[in-house]
Structure 1
């Protein structure tokens, strides 16, 4: 088997949806049947008797996600990453600038190892930061949300939205002065 380390995108094939739906249905039924009582065991099976190898849980999770996406008619991109990242690679992954990553390292929000004059980050740390940041963003959205009814007066709604925007701006200003 030749190993390819480049990024590759897989497109759903027409007519393949039914077979993929059967796989998704099988996996969902199996998980509902056993809940968390039993550790599921999945095997990759070959043509010969006894020709099988157990799949690690991570590989099973990847395959399940790929099958679900393809069955929904979505394309899937597999992009191998190194587990050690430069500040630029971390910035690209997070969708921010390299100076932002350097600032996150300086304020110890993102752990990094300094080798010579360069910082190296562990992929797991970057992904953990990304998840923590996403949770913070959703929490901030929920804390500044405004409940609206169809019967609300537009002037009252506008005032509620203005108050929410002020709260967000105040929070941003206080974050910038502490950083």
Structure 2
């Protein structure tokens, strides 16, 4: 693999009408392909018959890039290794490295040891992040359903107290690991 292939790149949106056509094509293709058991995606060249089949992951990434650029956003492509250090895992989850270590030691996220170092598979980390997000949404839904509109002020006070309790536990846990 060449050195240029692993460099972070940022792509600015091009003409919106071109992206709209690509987006419309992709949407129509998705709609038509729903009845097909295994959708297939191709990248076509300039000449007839000049095409290559795209893996689904590449198609989904292309779809996200087109949608973002169509919205006027720039897109950065940042290559990642599939085996991460605890610091890289912490950065991806937006938590501290000690928090990741605790999650690993508690068996929340599978990991491998490379000598004395822990390594986390990117797929395992993304799966954990998705499950964590689902749990958070479930808790928000339960909280929303439990809040009676007449008791909003009391619910907010209870929530504030619960946050302080969680923060205190977290601080105590982190200070005990130092």
Fold match (TM-score > 0.5): yes
**Who is 1:29 aligned against?**
28
**Who is 2:157 aligned against?**
162
Greater displacement, 105-114 / 3-12 = 3-12
CA–CA distance in structure 2, aligned partners of residues 161 and 87 of structure 1: 35
Q: Does 1:98 align with 2:94?
A: no
Structure 1: unaligned runs, 5 residues or longer: none
Structure 2 length normalisation: TM-score? 0.82
Matches within 5 A, 1:35-50: 35-50=34-49
Structure (1 or 2) with the greater helix fraction: 2
What is the DSSP-based 3-state SS (H/G/I as helix, E as strand, rest coil) of the residue aligned with 1:144?
Answer: helix
What is the DSSP-based 3-state SS (H/G/I as helix, E as strand, rest coil) of the residue aligned with 2:118?
Answer: strand
CA–CA distance in structure 2, aligned partners of residues 56 and 82 of structure 1: 19
CA–CA distance in structure 2, aligned partners of residues 133 and 143 of structure 1: 15
* CA displacement at 1:86 relative to structure 2: 0.9
* CA displacement at 1:40 relative to structure 2: 2.6
**Who is 2:73 aligned against?**
74
What is the DSSP-based 3-state SS (H/G/I as helix, E as strand, rest coil) of the residue aligned with 2:5?
Answer: coil
* CA displacement at 1:118 relative to structure 2: 0.8
> Number of residues paired by the alignment?
168
8 Å CA contact 1:45–1:53 kept in 2: the answer is: yes
CA–CA distance in structure 2, aligned partners of residues 129 and 92 of structure 1: 14
CA RMSD, aligned part only?
2.6
* CA displacement at 1:167 relative to structure 2: 5.9
CA–CA distance in structure 2, aligned partners of residues 11 and 49 of structure 1: 29
